[in-house]
Chains A and B, each alone.
Chain A
Amino acid sequence: MMLDNLAVAQVVAPLAAAPACLLPWRRVAWLLATTCSGFSFACALVLLGAALDGGVVVSEIGGWPAPFGIEYRIDLANALVLTIVSGISTIVLVTAFASLDGEIEPGRQPLFYSVWLLCLSGLLGMAATADAFNFFVFLEISSLSSYALIAMGRDRRALTAAFQYLVMGTIGATFILIAVAFLYLSTGTLNMADMAERLPSVSGSRTVASAFAFLTVGIGLKMAMFPLHQWLPNAYAFAPGAVSAFLAATATKVAVYGLVRFVFSVFGVDYSFGSMPLPLVLAALAAAAVLVASTVAIYQENLKRMLAYSSVAQIGYMLLGISLASPAGVAAAMAHVFNHALIKGALFLSLGCLAWRYRSSVGAELAGAGRAMPFTCGAFVVGALSLVGVPLTAGFASKWLLLSAAFQAGWWPLAVVVVIGSLLAAIYMWRALEVLYRRPASPAPVREAPLVLLVPTWVLALANVYFGFATEYSVGVAEAAAAWLFVATP
């Protein structure tokens, strides 16, 4: 009784608090947003605990039983995603009050927090729902609010980036809508579990095959799957710093989760990987993403843009794991969803600290920051090491898992791709660190970032180290979640 209310409350609380943030006092709005996000995080932890005990929390919204009403279904896989999303949101929000000051004028800040909460609610709703159409609705909440958040950046290119994202995102969402129409047409239901039950009887249908294609491409657009990633670099590069940190760590991850959910829990492993050419297509696109995006990242002058391209490459790793179609591969993907959120959160936050002092994130202008802001740059170094995958960091844990899954499946070329990708990551991160530490500092004295920014940044940086050896909480949960996904498939 308590738990199923919590499952709904964690999504609805930010949604209902969002209008209240329109009050004209920005401190109140910030406090409300942070508290609310923290509440969702607490709920997510409780739900994760329940899911770890082997339970599935089912919440029938409106009191209507499953296929007739909308239900929330929290199992290990989405409890993990819920925890990441609300956790990162809370940490980034703590920094937002200070970091926003240079980026958004005070009068618009309450609007910012309101949209942020809506975005959080949308992402959580996408992860929690067990209804295909409800997934679309919450996807649109999160998308619409992220367009608005990105457009609030100072640079005018933030506007064009938001518009491009809006166009591609809406095409993606409409593709998902088409897919849901075809699935509904073939099965007569919108509930995922009910759909999964009815799909095998129509598995030869060309309508279902077409739905599968549209769903993959639609979600692919939202998660910036390799050739569909054009919106991402500019969006992350020109958004306000807090937004980049939040979206980079969570938005694409929820889309990855959505793909996993549909592929495994709705269509089923046999259909997705047997009847459809998904493994080959995904593996090829993922390998291309890792290699191409990492190479492009090397040539970026703007560090935020470099991290954005790196995100495209990292999504490639997750897709590699999924394309293996084995419990080990999916576990690697889920673990990387978790670890990459920590990595990118730490990196973007420390970059945010730098941008807060230097008013820029272009490499040349940050020369010598390593000496001026040692703690900030220290966090950046930790994040960089984790991104490259140095042992004893979180990034290493998931890459190791991915490598062993690739060997286990006998797909050794994929293992080679992972290794080359890590080397490329080492190159672009080295270029960034070289600028920070080895170039002469600018004559203007720059002080260390304030504690409100520094502490949350270091919390994430230390999490990278902690989850590097305490892997039972990240990799362990991911493995259990993957096993659950394979067991629960019809």
Chain B
Amino acid sequence: MKEFLLHYHYWVVVFLMMTGLYAVVASGNLLKKVVGLNVFQASVFMLYISLGVVDGGAVPILRPEVTVYSNPLPHVLILTAIVVGVATTSLALALVVRIKEAYGTVEEDDIHRRDEAE
């Protein structure tokens, strides 16, 4: 029980990550895979940010009246990762659009069937 209370933040985040990952690997629809990837990544971002939380800490913008700040480094890393994520997403979506134009479908099973029929 004590273990649970101390780590439940991480565990919820892990659950969210796995929800996203499941959508990526189990879904046959390409757009849903992209949504799943985004949920997966957004949850990893939460993992990072939760590492940098300091009890009683403030936003890491220095002011004379504050002494305890949260850790700024995970924030920097995740700023980078968010932008990387949206870059991947836009490329993935462009591919989805082109696949729809080339195959007439965005369902993985149909695409495989059409490739094999060739």
Contacts and interface: CB of A to CB of B under 8 A. Distances in A.
B14 to A, nearest CB: 10
B99 interface: yes
A473 to B, nearest CB: 37
By DSSP majority rule, is chain B's interface helix, strand, loop, or mixed?
helix
Among A147, A156, A157, A163, residue most surrounded by chain B Cβ atoms (within 10 Å): A163
Interface of B: 21, 24, 30, 33, 37, 40-41, 44, 47-48, 51, 73-74, 77, 80-81, 84, 87-88, 91-92, 95-96, 98-99, 102-103, 111, 115
A151 interface: yes
Contacts of B80: 133, 137
A184 interface: yes
B44 A156 contact: no
A216 B86 CA distance: 25
A470 interface: no
By DSSP majority rule, is chain A's interface helix, strand, loop, or mixed?
helix
Contacts of B95: 147, 151, 159, 162-163, 166
A160 B96 CA distance: 9
Nearest to A234: B115
Contacts of A133: 77, 80
A174 B40 contact: yes
Interface of A: 133, 136-137, 140, 144, 147-148, 151, 156-157, 159-160, 162-163, 166-167, 170-171, 174, 177-178, 181, 184-185, 190
A137 B84 contact: yes
A144 B91 contact: yes
A44 B44 CA distance: 35
Contacts of A156: 99, 102-103
B99 A163 contact: yes
B44 A160 contact: no
Contacts of A177: 44, 81
28 contacts: A136-B81, A137-B80, A144-B87, A144-B91, A147-B91, A147-B95, A148-B91, A151-B95, A151-B98, A156-B99, A159-B98, A160-B99, A160-B103, A162-B95, A163-B30, A163-B92, A163-B96, A167-B33, A167-B92, A170-B41, A171-B24, A174-B37, A174-B41, A177-B44, A178-B44, A184-B51, A184-B73, A184-B74
A401 B89 CA distance: 43
B92 A160 contact: no
Contacts of A136: 81
Contacts of A144: 87-88, 91
Ranked nearest first, the 6 interchain pairs of A and B with the lowest CB-CB distance are: A156-B102, A163-B95, A140-B84, A159-B99, A159-B98, A185-B51
A170 B95 CA distance: 14
B47 A178 contact: yes
A141 to B, nearest CB: 9
